[in-house]
Amino acid sequence: MTQSPLQECSREIIGKKLLDHLAVIYPNEDGDRLAQQLMHVMRLDEDCQSPLPHKNLWDETDVVVITYGNTILSEKQHPLKALHHFLKTHFTMLINSVHILPFFPYSSDDGFAVVDYKQVHPKLGDWSDVLRISTDFHLMADLVINHCSAQHEWFINFQQGKSPGADYFFVVDPNENLSGVVRPRTTPLLRAVSNGSSSKCVWCTFGHDQIDLDFRNPQVLLEMVDIIRLYLDMGVRIFRLDAVAFLWKKIGTSCINLEETHEIVRLLRTLIEHADPNTVIITETNIPNRENLSYFGNANEAHWIYNFSLPPLLVNSLVSGNCRHLKNWLMSMPPAQNGTTYFNFIASHDGIGLRPVEGLLSDDEQEALIQTMENFGGQISWRALDDGNKKPYEINISLFDALRGTTAGEDEWQIDRFICAHAIMLALEGVPAFYLHSLVGTTNDYQRMLEHGHNRAINRRQWQESELNQKLKDPTTHHFKVFGQLRHLIKLRREQPAFHPNATQFTLHLGDQIFAFWRQSMNRRQSIFCLNNISDAPQTIPLSSLNLIGTDCWKDLVSDRIYEDMLGTVTLEPYQTLWITNRW
The response to whether 310 counts as a known ligand-binding position is no
- Long-range contacts for 81-85 (Cβ within 8 Å, ≥24 apart)? 81/125, 81/129, 82/465, 83/133, 84/129, 84/132, 84/133, 84/136, 85/465
Q: Is 456 known to sit in a ligand binding site?
A: yes
Helix (H, G, I), strand (E, B) or coil at 212: strand
What integer pLDDT is reported at residue 108 of this predicted model? 96
pLDDT per residue over 388-442, tens digit each?
788 899 999 999 999 999 999 999 999 999 999 999 999 999 999 999 999 999 9
Residues 72 and 107 in one domain: yes
Determine the 3-state secondary structure of 252 from DSSP. coil
- Rounded mean pLDDT of 505-525? 97
Shared domain for 492 and 519, answered yes or no, is no
Statement to judge: residues 434 and 455 lie in one domain: yes
Query: Are 268 and 350 members of one domain?
Result: yes
Per-chain mean pLDDT for the chain: 95
Number of domains comprising the chain = 2
Q: Last residue of some domain: 480, 499, 518? A: 499
Compute the distance between CA of residue 203 and CA of residue 249 in angstroms, rounded to an integer. 10
pLDDT greater than 70 at residue 53: yes
Q: What is the pTM of this model?
A: 0.96
The pLDDT confidence band at residue 6, using thresholds 50, 70 and 90, is low
Same domain, 423 and 513: no
Q: 211 lies in a domain?
A: no
> What's the pLDDT band for 343 if we cut at 50, 70, 90?
very high
47 is catalytic: no
Mean pLDDT confidence for 162-185: 94
Q: Could you tell me if 463 and 522 lie in one domain?
A: no
**109 marked as part of a ligand binding site:** yes
- Domain membership of residue 576 (yes or no) is yes
Is residue 347 a part of any domain in this protein? yes
524 annotated ligand binder: no
Instruction: Look at strands 405-406 and 280-283 and give their pairing.
Output: unpaired
> What pLDDT is recorded for position 547?
87
* Residue 354 marked as a ligand binder: no
Annotated ligand binding at 241? The verdict is: yes
Strands (DSSP E) along 242-297, which ranges? 280-283
Whether 222 is covered by a domain: the verdict is no
Is 134 within the bounds of a domain?
yes
The pLDDT score that the predictor gives to residue 383 is 84
Nearest to 285 by CA among 267, 309, 266: 309
**What is the average per-residue pLDDT within 469-494?**
98
85 annotated as belonging to a binding site for a ligand:
no
Q: What whole-number distance in Å separates Cα of residue 215 and Cα of residue 464?
A: 41
Tell whether 350 is in a known binding site.
Answer: yes
Residue among 334, 366, 343, 341 nearest 353 (CA): 366
Domain boundary among 499, 520, 548: 499
Same domain, 457 and 562: no
In the predicted structure, residue 9 carries a pLDDT above the cut 80: no
Is the same domain home to 354 and 384?
A: yes
Confidence of residue 4 (pLDDT cuts 50, 70, 90): low
For residues 307 and 438, membership in a common domain is answered with: yes
- Report the distance separating Cα 391 and Cα 311, nearest Å: 19
Q: How confident is the model at residue 2, as a pLDDT?
A: 78
Catalytic option among 62, 242, 416, 536: 242
549: domain CATH number is 2.60.40.1180
Among 499, 533, 549, give the residue marking a domain's end. Answer: 499
Q: How far apart are CA 508 and CA 512, in angstroms?
A: 11
The answer on 517 and 444 residing in a single domain is no
User: Which domain covers residue 562, as residue numbers?
Assistant: 504-581
Amino acid at 200: K
Average pLDDT over residues 467-490: 98
| Dihedral sign from CA coordinates of 124, 129, 130, 136 | negative
HSE of 392 in the Cβ direction (CA atoms, 13 Å)? 24
The pLDDT tens digits for 286-307 are 888 889 999 999 999 999 999 9
Q: What's residue 197's pLDDT?
A: 75
Rg (CA), the chain: 24
> Considering the domain boundaries, does residue 153 fall inside one?
no
The reply to whether 552 and 526 lie within a common domain is yes
How sure is the predictor about 545, in pLDDT bands with cuts at 50, 70 and 90? very high
Residues 436, 550 within the same domain:
no
CATH number of the structural domain spanning residue 268: 3.20.20.80
